[in-house]
Chains A and B, each alone.
Chain A
Amino acid sequence: MADVSKLIPGQKVLLQGNEAIARGALEAGVALAAAYPGNPSSEILQTLADSAHSAGIYVEWSTNEKVALESAAAASYAGLRGMASMKQNGVNVAQDFICNLTISGTQGGIVLVTCDDPSGVSSTNEEDARFIARVACLPLLEPATPAECLSMMKLAFELSEQIGNLVVLRGLARLSHTRAGVVPGPLPESKRRPRWDPSQRWFTIPVVPRHQAMLDKLAKAGEIMGAAGVNYYDGPQRPELLVVASGSSRLYADEARRMLEAGERVGILHLGATWPLDQELILEHLARADKILFAEEVDPHLEGGVKSIYAQHVRELGIKDFFGQDTGHKPPVGELSPSRVAAALADILGLPWQEVDPAYQEKAQVAQALVAPRQVGFCPGCPHRASYWSMKQVLAADGREGIVSGDIGCYTLGVLPTGYQRVNAVHCMGSGPGIASGLGKLRDQGFGQPVISVVGDSTFFHAALPALVNARWNNSDYVLVVLDNSATAMTGFQPHPGTGATAMGQAGTVVDVEQVCAGLGLPYAVVDPYDLEATQEALYDALQIGGGLRVLIFRRLCALVQNKQGGHPWSISVDPELCRGEDCGCHRFCTRVFRCPGLVFDEATGKATVDEVVCVGCGVCAQICPAGAIKARPKEATA
């Protein structure tokens, strides 16, 4: 990412939503920023890391989101400004701390940024993390554009400091990854000196009075946000329909109104501050129209909140018609789009709405029969393909219906054909070893199936450790396979404890997976997943031992990182004389079963070939060819 501390104030630049959040934090004088990588939030901290030296701040990839927010709270208690950014899942990880922090309160400004992922484009769920604002009684801001990302970050820090509590800013995947014009402001000229006044104590008891204080802070936050101009109305004095919207949905509603040429009939209440809801403002605008539509992603947060306010004031407001999730005008799942909002507007206003000529639509739909789905898969040369290949072979040879408990990372794709669908369960960070730990304790009740838990090297440190200690303690019987590709590859190759590098590019201390295993008293071995025979032998043996937790570390650098570091050593080719093609004795084993995208089956010749644009030269396929037709030769020799 770019060093956004170098942007020139007043000069408009194209910034990604996540970069604008980072710039906003710098302009607000953030002193400590921490995060655990998770798309769509990852670029926020990466941008801050790349700006850290010139901005003179501390930026950290933490082991997990809870630790990240705790670090940010430390800055707050030292009188500085701190922030933690995460994807929606991270909010769950941090929730225990959040729900106590909100009672103890904070000193320096502290902001939690959550980047939600409606439709789950790069997530295991599409959770709406706005719940945390209601649960923990925290002020919530929802920007709609990169420019608002910047300005609302500054507001969030100010607000946090004024009320003495955490403030939540909610981004969305589309916004995080949108680039638009942003005009940066100035950076602060002076820095605060960190000091924790020893007379200051931050804790949560007695709970009831502190709970009351927390609610008072929230009410105060509502007043401040109301005055900040982040909520506004845009439309005619007496619209037929009022759209109450937040986030990207505000823009979708605006565009839908334009497409339908319904500017005279539709007003939009833009809500940038969505918790607490500004009751006065909402009552004022509800009075404008008799029909109200909600546009938001994913949960009916505004819909529920506004209806609740309405219920208290129904006598003065009279009968209204509400449209939203409850009436099917806002989908309960997945993200919104301008077309979806337009369809809702058209339906409510009784307007004709046709996206495109039906004859064209039909022709285009028929043509889609030609379009094969493009399922995601492991990259060419990915060590995970080799690892899952070995797991598949060994579990079949073992023959006891072995179970693979999966986890979060690139290797989650093991549930798909690219990983031979060899993963039986995936939930959240660290859940794999926990489930395995439980399975491994069912032996006495007759559970005879072998159990493998796969975790990536970054996940190992994030959330796997407590489950491993649990398994060690209780003597649970399973094999932990650490898929160590020395990178947090799924989210953009961030460093982690096992790599020893830090977010700011300095050398940290390597926290070694082997040493952790040794410290826990776990037997472990390291194998190279590219060496299929050795890997399969080690895994088979590990499965036969039984009796407790044992660890295999499958270590091989991420293929994408390897590509950047000079590439793989082999030049791969197929000898057509030896290739058995579709005959008995092979039947497209490499392309149909192994499924590396670098291998192509040439229908014309009936032989496999190598796609030189795709193949990276890892050489694994040469080990699986039954005819020895796939040749791996050193690259130099062929160059």
Chain B
Amino acid sequence: MKALKYDPLDIVVTGVGGQGNVLASQVLGRALLDAGYQVTVGETYGLSQRGGSVMSQVRVSSGPVLGPMMPDHRATAIISLEPLEALRLVGTYGHPGVVVLTNDRPLRPQGVLAGEQAYPEPQELRATLEGLCAKLYWLPATAAALKLGNHILANVVLLGALCALDLLPIGAEQVEAALAAMFPEDKMAPNREALAKGLALVREV
């Protein structure tokens, strides 16, 4: 069992209800548990399917059992399926050393769609996030997923991207194995492609 570079390793996975956030955190949790680590995945999805913000926390340690909620401002990484949600959680879990990995595709909140609130310009959002983290990965995950045939694959694209960073004690093949344990084999081809695409996106950066 490889030693954890960060112990505890605290990864926040966030997005908007319906984006496959819970699934992404489950896959990650399962892969890490199978690799022998102490894993706690905390999920918050009260009204997730109704357009609200959704967050999961994947907490990994080599020692004590961790609670379902991480302390504020201690996340190792924030993975976000929606860029505004990344900034929202940086406010709670961010610190100068946090790594942020986000999809660049906005999903406008209801109040923005109704013209009551503003959604920041992409450049402003990106620059703000950059100023609040050690490293920002601003990735076209939805665009990549749509090319693979389904926007829902953006979550797996981001998992692939996470595997390309030097944060996890496991590799993409272990994440793929966890996916394979949760999906029937005939659904695995697009998932494999999405993982590979995510890895490639980070390497291009």
Contacts and interface: CB of A to CB of B under 8 A. Distances in A.
Interface of A: 12-14, 39, 121-122, 144-145, 147, 173-175, 177-181, 248, 251-252, 254-256, 258-259, 337-339, 342, 355-357, 360-361, 363-365, 367-368, 370-379, 410, 413, 417-418, 560, 588, 591-593, 595, 597, 599-601, 613-614
Nearest to A588: B115
25 contacts: A14-B33, A14-B39, A145-B65, A177-B45, A251-B68, A252-B67, A252-B69, A337-B72, A339-B72, A360-B132, A364-B94, A368-B91, A370-B87, A374-B51, A374-B52, A374-B85, A375-B109, A376-B51, A379-B50, A413-B47, A418-B110, A588-B115, A597-B113, A600-B108, A601-B115
A512 B108 CA distance: 40
Given A178-B43, A591-B115, A374 B91 contact: no
B49 A560 contact: yes
Contacts of A363: 131-132
A364 B131 CA distance: 9
Interface string B46-81: 110111110000000000111111111110000000
A601 B26 CA distance: 35
B40 interface: yes
Of all A-B residue pairs in the complex, the 5 with the closest CB atoms, nearest first, are A251-B67, A122-B46, A121-B46, A356-B73, A178-B68
Contacts of A122: 45-47
Nearest to B63: A258
Interface of B: 16-17, 26, 29-30, 33, 38-47, 49-53, 64-74, 84-85, 87-88, 90-91, 94-96, 107-115, 117-120, 124-125, 128, 131-132, 142, 151
B44 A121 contact: yes
Contact of A180 (B39, B51, B120, B125): B39
A355 B71 contact: yes
Nearest to B151: A613
Nearest to A412: B47
A177 B50 CA distance: 18
A148 to B, nearest CB: 10
A410 B151 CA distance: 26
B43 A371 contact: no
Given A338-B71, A372-B112, A364 B65 contact: no
Contacts of B72: 337, 339, 355-356
Contact of A360 (B43, B95, B114, B118): B95
A120 to B, nearest CB: 8
Contacts of B65: 145, 147, 180, 251
A413 B65 CA distance: 37
Contact of B111 (A364, A375, A413): A375
B125 A374 contact: no
A376 B47 contact: yes
Given A355-B72, A365-B91, A367-B87, A374 B110 contact: yes
Contacts of A364: 90-91, 94, 132
A300 to B, nearest CB: 20
Contact of A373 (B16, B87, B117, B128): B117
Nearest to A178: B68
Contact of A370 (B43, B95, B128): B128
Nearest to B41: A179
Contacts of B112: 372
